């Protein structure tokens, strides 16, 4: 495996790596200064050179940056020295899920464009297909009572189309960030997961009728109960990229609840 990473002893200059990776020499030098990516050698002229192992490290760094992680979090992950093939496989799984999600969005937008061009009537149920706020009615009423569902249902129905789109966009953004963190191998009790859990709880508090939004409500029990549902119910798990992603969200929310709720 090491011979493969070394690419037969070949290395690339910093200018070549910057060009191939779509970044800059300045960025690569910065990564070197902070200990994130060390050149395999430095020539007598001071030029930095990178071998196959360094390129593999850079690919992981760039993928983690695409997932939205900051440089300190990336450094923490790389210090764990996980098997690079396993780590890249997780990245590949996440990219495949993102590709599927974007394909669905693109198809929805394409259909909307064709309808508008043809002078047809837009159907909201088609534009927002897959987002049925009544889908979990029975679970909500069973766990938290009919009043909780009625309040949240009234709030949802009272929103305009633009407000619903904005709320849906925020929910999707949160789900994407959870999925990305899970795919990147972020520790469930680490700072990145803690920030996501805080956003998640704030999001829950914004929904009228939920115990999180009620004064004196059992916020901790509500959050951990939902976290368990994310794993138990495949409909929830799909939101976070599958069972593995849902387990990560559950672990992070439980950790957050034990400390802050």
Choose the most confident range, by mean pLDDT, from 68-82, 98-112, 173-187, 228-242: 173-187
Residues with Cβ within 8 Å of residue 76, at least 6 apart in sequence: 190
**Average pLDDT of the chain?**
77
CA nearest neighbour of 207 among 168, 256, 155: 155
Residue 206 domain-assigned (yes or no): yes
Q: Are 54 and 38 in contact, with CB atoms under 8 Å apart?
A: yes
Residue 87 domain-assigned (yes or no): no
CA 53 to chain centroid, in Å, comes to: 27
Residue 29: which pLDDT band, with cuts at 50, 70 and 90? very high
Calpha distance 207→144 (Å, rounded): 14
CA nearest neighbour of 128 among 172, 98, 96: 172
Q: Are 95 and 101 in contact, with CB atoms under 8 Å apart?
A: no
Same domain, yes or no: 256 and 181: yes
- The encoded tokens of residue 171 equal 């929910």
| Domain boundary, last residue among 66, 95, 112 | 66
CATH number reported for the structural domain that contains residue 51 in this entry: 1.10.1660.10
Q: What is the pLDDT of residue 131?
A: 41
Statement: residue 190 has pLDDT above 70: yes
Query: In the chain, what percentage of residues exceed pLDDT 70?
Result: 69
Residue 225 domain-assigned (yes or no): yes
Same domain, yes or no: 61 and 147: no
Residue 93 domain-assigned (yes or no): no
124-137 pLDDT tens trace = 444 444 344 555 55
User: Residue 56's domain spans which residues?
Assistant: 2-66
What's the rounded mean pLDDT across residues 68-88?
72
Phi, psi of 11 (to 5 degrees): -135, 170
Q: What is the pLDDT of residue 14?
A: 93
Domain count along the chain: 2
Same domain, yes or no: 251 and 145: yes
Statement: residue 68 has pLDDT above 50: yes
Same domain, yes or no: 55 and 173: no
- The encoded tokens of residue 1 equal 């495996």
| Domain boundary, last residue among 47, 66, 85 | 66
32-63 pLDDT tens trace = 999 999 999 998 888 899 988 889 889 888 88
């Amino acid at each position: 495996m090491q011979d493969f990473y070394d690419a037969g002893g070949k290395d690339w200059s910093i200018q070549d790596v910057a060009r191939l990776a779509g970044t800059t020499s300045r960025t690569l030098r910065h990564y070197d200064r902070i200990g994130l990516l060390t050149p395999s050698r430095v020539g007598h002229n001071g030029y930095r050179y990178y071998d196959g192992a360094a390129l593999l490290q850079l690919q992981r760094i760039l993928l983690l940056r695409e997932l939205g992680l900051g440089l300190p979090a990336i450094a923490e992950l790389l210090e764990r020295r996980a098997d690079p093939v396993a780590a890249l496989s997780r990245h590949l799984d996440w990219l495949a899920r993102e590709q599927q999600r974007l394909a669905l969005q693109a198809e929805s937008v394409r259909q909307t464009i064709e309808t508008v061009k043809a002078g047809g009537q837009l159907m909201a149920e088609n534009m927002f297909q897959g987002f049925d706020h009544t889908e979990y009615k029975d679970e909500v009423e069973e766990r938290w009572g009919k009043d909780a569902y009625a309040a949240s249902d009234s709030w949802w129905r009272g929103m305009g189309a633009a407000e619903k789109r904005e709320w849906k966009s925020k929910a999707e953004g949160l789900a994407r960030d959870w999925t990305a963190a899970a795919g990147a191998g972020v520790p469930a009790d680490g700072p990145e997961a803690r920030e996501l859990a805080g956003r998640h709880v704030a999001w829950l508090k914004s929904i009228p009728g939920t115990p999180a939004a009620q004064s004196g409500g059992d916020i901790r029990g509500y959050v951990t109960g939902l976290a368990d549902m994310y794993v138990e119910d495949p409909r929830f798990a799909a939101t976070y990229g599958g069972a593995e992603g849902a387990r990560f969200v559950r672990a992070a929310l439980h950790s957050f609840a034990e400390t802050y709720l």
